[in-house]
Amino acid sequence: MDILTRFIRPLALFAAGVVFTSLGSAQEKRPNILWIVGENFSNDLGCYGQRNVATPHLDSLAAAGIRYTNAFATSPVCAPSRSCFMLGMYQTTTDTHNMRSHRDDDFKLPPGIQPLTHRLKDVGYYTANITHLSDLRVGTGKLDLNFVNEGTLYDGAQWDDLKGNQPFFAQINLPEAEYDIYDRKSAEKQRVRWVGEEWHPQVATEQNVTPPPFYPDHPVVRQEWARYLNSISGADVRVGQILKRLAKDGLDDDTIVVFFADNGRLTARGIHWPFDQGLRVPLIVRDAKNFPVLTEQERRQSVSDRVVSLLDLTATTMQFAGITAPAGMQSRVFLGADADQPRAYAFAARDRIDETVIRMRSVHDQRYHYVRNHTPGAGFPTLNRYKEKCFLVKPLMRQLHQQGKLSGDAAALMEPFPDEMLFDTKADPHETKNLAASTDPDVQLVLARMRSALETWTAETGDRGHLMEPDAVVEPFVKEMHDWFGTPQWAVPK
């Protein structure tokens, strides 16, 4: 039996009951729910211990709620990750795992699998993908989902419409941290700017930052690391504007606020790669005075090391709204009195991103991280035109490597990835020491456990990553990315 059918049947059977229950309880008073979604950053807020950032509003939000230290995206890039937490199903199960796939075909989600906003609308929620607070732009309105044929996902885009349409589910996709690439003229520019860099607080500078050790000590590396950190400080400014408006409009006491990032760092070894800092994300939940959902163990200023997947945002948000997750949904409720059993593991997948076809899989527990590379020869230097153009550290390292000027962890990063990697994220947070070849018996036990967990997940969830896209699907991305970002001279066919 096809894995999708295995999941679809219980979902489809449950659908009628969900609709009936939803209609019958639509008049119940329910909390407003606000998702504030950051772009492309990891646990690099002041409340997580990062230096050279100014995040007072997010730090205050964490002090008023619960902060998670082991939260992970299911993909190190936006569209598959967002597809996952919008559906409550792994992107590898629903065939939404390849970057920006199914944008121009007739793909539809299988029966019983619905976008979260449709489930919320069924119980009376007004849904919005906010771009503006009156005239102030705070969100991008980004969707970037690998399904486009499911009908209207949101009712509106203006904050001003929320007060008169309660209960509401509002999502605000912050512009940070992101390169300013959507004019599609990046190929013409010598240096691609960051969104908002002209006004971001300049807390981090080339002189005061210490980039991760797998990069060379070079001015360009320090400059780019500072730009990344300042982008996070800029995101905090927007969060402050949002929270101030929430209180001003008298919505604060009725609104549960969830802050998270869609995937990890917008840095050369972050985004796109299923290493820790491509997957580990901040996650903060603050409940509402009139709708308390946190338990005594989740009280104000608490910190949780519970393993959470962004997949779990779906069922948890439904729980806030009084909706029971249907049988077969892979998402779990991660907080509150009715929380599900904590996860032992968080799983993630990297598949085709833009024109670059690389398949990798990942599993985290509270300490260890196991990565399986299914594409021999692939590695950090593999061609991706977006990263070659925008991420100045990558071509810099390629040049220094050719000149024999890299050493240590930076030189090792230029080699192809091993088939297996195991990292102790407590002792080695930068993941520079691969333990997979260790002869230590204790390490080998961890390796066997993590390997088995990943293989079990692959089978049980019907991971579709081994079903490669036809060349006719991939080839247009090569042209698109060339036109958008250009092709480095070394990669131009001779």
* pTM listed for this prediction: 0.94
Structural domain including 384 reads 3-491
Burial class (CB in 10 A: 0-12, 13-18, 19+), 414: middle
CATH number of the domain residue 284 falls in: 3.40.720.10
- What pLDDT does residue 28 have? 78
Q: How many domains in the chain?
A: 1
Determine the pLDDT at residue 4. 54
Q: Which residue has the tokens 């991008």?
A: 140
Tokens in use for 354? Answer: 């833009």
Three-state DSSP state, 191: coil
Q: How crowded is residue 481: how many other Cβ atoms within 10 Å of its Cβ? A: 22
* Single-letter residue type at 9: R
Q: Which residues of the chain have pLDDT under 50?
A: 1, 3, 8-26
Rounded Cα distance between 436 and 450, Å, is 11
- For residue 51, the number of C-alpha atoms closer than 13 Å in the C-beta half-sphere is 6
Q: Which two three-digit tokens encode residue 111?
A: 């029966």
| Angle separating helix axes 56-63 and 219-248, nearest 10 degrees | 60
- Residue 172's contacts (CB-CB under 8 Å, 6 or more residues apart) are 34, 35, 36, 37, 129, 130, 138, 139, 242
∠ CA 392-48-238, rounded to 5°: 70
What are the CA-CA distances from residue 348 to residues 19, 310, 337, 425 (Å)? Answer: 31, 10, 27, 16
Which two structure tokens, joined as six digits, stand for 275?
């290493």
In the chain, the amino acid numbered 238 is R
pLDDT in tens, 354-392: 999 999 999 999 999 999 999 999 999 999 999 999 999
